[in-house]
Amino acid sequence: MEVAYFFPSCVWLEKLNFDLEKLKQDLDLFAEKGRLIERSNMAGLQYDNYLNADLSDAILRTFPRVEGKIVKNPFVYMWVNRNPKGARNSRHTHITYTRNLLLSGVYYVKVPKDSGRIRFYDPRNISIMNPPDNEYYNDSNTYNFVQPVKDMILFFPSWFEHDVEENKSNDERISIGFNIFSEVEEIKMGNAYNVE
Amino acid sequence: MNSTFEIQPIFSSFLIQTKLDLDTKSIKNWIEESYHTNYKIPLTFDEDILKDFYLSLKEILDNLHLALGFSKNTKQQFQEAWVNVESRERISVPHTHPSADLICVYYPYVEQGSGNLEFINPNSSVEYVFPQTRDNTIIDTHNLFNSKLWQVVPENDLLVVFPSWLHHYVRQGNPNTTRMSIALNSKTVRI
């Protein structure tokens, strides 16, 4: 039977093949001078506005494109998350008051075992009442996990609520959150699904 | 020229906070004496020590039921209840109680700093108009119309009642503090 997925909530997963040793060295330098911020971090450290042209370029080369659509002047805004043992990130989105936020994501630099998965919450509000279809077809799941590994990059919509489990390892977990801003050339209102 | 106006809240969620004036010390002692290892303890609605708690709660839910506009041919019925005892690490994942209609939480004993009860606005679109993070916001005054989160500071003897569609969780507090709560699900049934 053909299945039509309407309004899917996508997380794109890819390997970036970035030079992690060089990046770690740069992040250690950044931790000495970077501006600490308080956003989703719970007992962890977040450093704002990380600038790394090589990483920005790699992200812009990799992010998912739609064939035939041009993304005008994309740029990447990055911040660094350093979660020691016991730290986690509370449930949040990446929504900003700048409306030209095309896509969000996270790149994993260091992920010790048991340092915390990322969890995405079902954005369909009605599903939280667990109607029978959700129980039957989805086992009543209201969230899904991704187990990150080093060099993994995730892309997801800015509105997709997510959090990070507590780091239960004795080692630090390091990731780089980012938003990709752009001017999308053309926005079509609605899409038709054609059943063959 | 008249520039005065009234903002009408529409499509509201709700939250009730009230003290029950119960013998919290006896309830705390009963929990401590009865249970030593379990962190979630099911209740059966016939515990003698909780008799006044059940009576008070029933009266409040009956009044709330009418205030919410339910038909008089329906009523609230206790569905399930349990005691949460947490004194160590707390893993608090936002959740709802989908089988219930109303959720009640009562605190017989909480130590200061054990973590606030936090609610998430079910209208996620609000965040697009009023985006906010802890250090980067365009909001001066948080209110009913612009808040993504709403917090309750638990106190001894406090009862909290809210609709089951509200995602809620315990904000991370001091893991060395003790926190005892009684959760109860209520369901609307026909008489």
SS (H, E, C) chain B: CCCCCCCCCCCCCCCEEEECCCCHHHHHHHHHHHCCCCCEEECCCCCHHHHHHHHHHHHHHHHHHHHCCCCCCEEEEEEEEEEEEECCCCCCCCECCCCCCEEEEEEEEECCCCCCEEEECCCCCHHHHCCEECCEECCCCCCCCCCCEEEECCCCCEEEEEECCCEEEECCCCCCCCEEEEEEEEEEEEC
Q: How many residues in chain A?
A: 196
- Whether residue A38 and residue B134 make contact (CB cut-off 8 A), yes or no, is yes
What confidence score (pLDDT) does residue A38 get? 82
Tell me which chain A residues have a C-beta less than 8 angstroms from the C-beta of B122.
125
Q: A133-142 pLDDT, tens per residue?
A: 888 988 888 8
Work out the pLDDT band at A195, boundaries 50, 70, 90.
very low
User: How close A112 gets to chain B, by Cα (Å)?
Assistant: 20
What confidence score (pLDDT) does residue A41 get? 85
What confidence score (pLDDT) does residue A138 get? 85
Is pLDDT of A188 > 50?
A: no
What confidence score (pLDDT) does residue B91 get? 52
- Whether residue B98 and residue A42 make contact (CB cut-off 8 A), yes or no, is no
Closest-approach residue (CA) in chain A for B94 = A91
Q: A156-186 pLDDT, tens per residue?
A: 999 999 999 999 999 999 999 999 998 765 4
- Whether residue A39 and residue B167 make contact (CB cut-off 8 A), yes or no, is no
B106 in Cβ contact with B182 (< 8 Å): yes
What confidence score (pLDDT) does residue B85 get? 85
Which helix H or strand E contains A21, and what residues bound it? helix A20-33
For chain B (191 residues), the mean pLDDT of every run of 10, in chain order, is: 92 96 96 74 94 98 97 96 73 82 97 91 86 70 90 97 93 84 96 92
- Whether residue B96 and residue A128 make contact (CB cut-off 8 A), yes or no, is yes
- Whether residue A128 and residue B135 make contact (CB cut-off 8 A), yes or no, is no
Give φ, ψ of A138 to 5 degrees. Answer: -120, 10
Q: Report the residue from B93, B98, B135 with minimal CB separation from A128.
A: B98
Q: What percent of chain A has pLDDT over 90?
A: 68
The single residue listed with the structure tokens 């660094």 is A80
What confidence score (pLDDT) does residue B127 get? 84
What confidence score (pLDDT) does residue B71 get? 95
ipTM score of complex: 0.80
Closest-approach residue (CA) in chain B for A123 = B124
pTM summary value: 0.86
- Could you give the CA distance from residue B60 to residue B183 in angstroms, rounded to a whole number? 15
Structure tokens at B123: 């209208």
Closest-approach residue (CA) in chain A for B167 = A128
Q: Would you tell me how many other CB atoms lie within 10 Å of the CB of residue B22?
A: 19
- Could you give the CA distance from residue B151 to residue B175 in angstroms, rounded to a whole number? 19
Q: Which residue has the higher pLDDT, A113 or B1?
A: A113
What confidence score (pLDDT) does residue B126 get? 87
Lowest model confidence (mean pLDDT) among A88-92, A146-150, B82-86? B82-86
User: How close B67 gets to chain A, by Cα (Å)?
Assistant: 22
B94 shares contact with chain A (CB less than 8 Å): yes
Is pLDDT of A190 > 70?
A: no
A59 in Cβ contact with A107 (< 8 Å): yes
- Whether residue A159 and residue B172 make contact (CB cut-off 8 A), yes or no, is no
Is pLDDT of A193 > 60?
A: no
What confidence score (pLDDT) does residue B121 get? 93
User: How close A39 gets to chain B, by Cα (Å)?
Assistant: 5
Q: Would you tell me how many other CB atoms lie within 10 Å of the CB of residue B99?
A: 12
Average pLDDT over residues A72-100: 90
Is pLDDT of A34 > 90?
A: no
Work out the pLDDT band at A196, boundaries 50, 70, 90.
very low
Tell me which chain B residues have a C-beta less than 8 angstroms from the C-beta of A93.
124, 127
Is pLDDT of A192 > 70?
A: no
- Whether residue B98 and residue A166 make contact (CB cut-off 8 A), yes or no, is no
B51 CB-near residues (< 8 Å, 6+ apart): none
What beta strand segments (E) does A38-168 contain? 41-42, 45-50, 71-83, 88-92, 101-110, 118-121, 143-146, 152-156, 162-164
- Could you give the CA distance from residue A53 to residue B62 in angstroms, rounded to a whole number? 62
What confidence score (pLDDT) does residue B17 get? 98
Interface of A with B (CB under 8 A): 37-40, 42-43, 88, 90-93, 95-97, 119, 121, 123, 125, 128-130, 140, 142-143, 159, 161, 163, 166
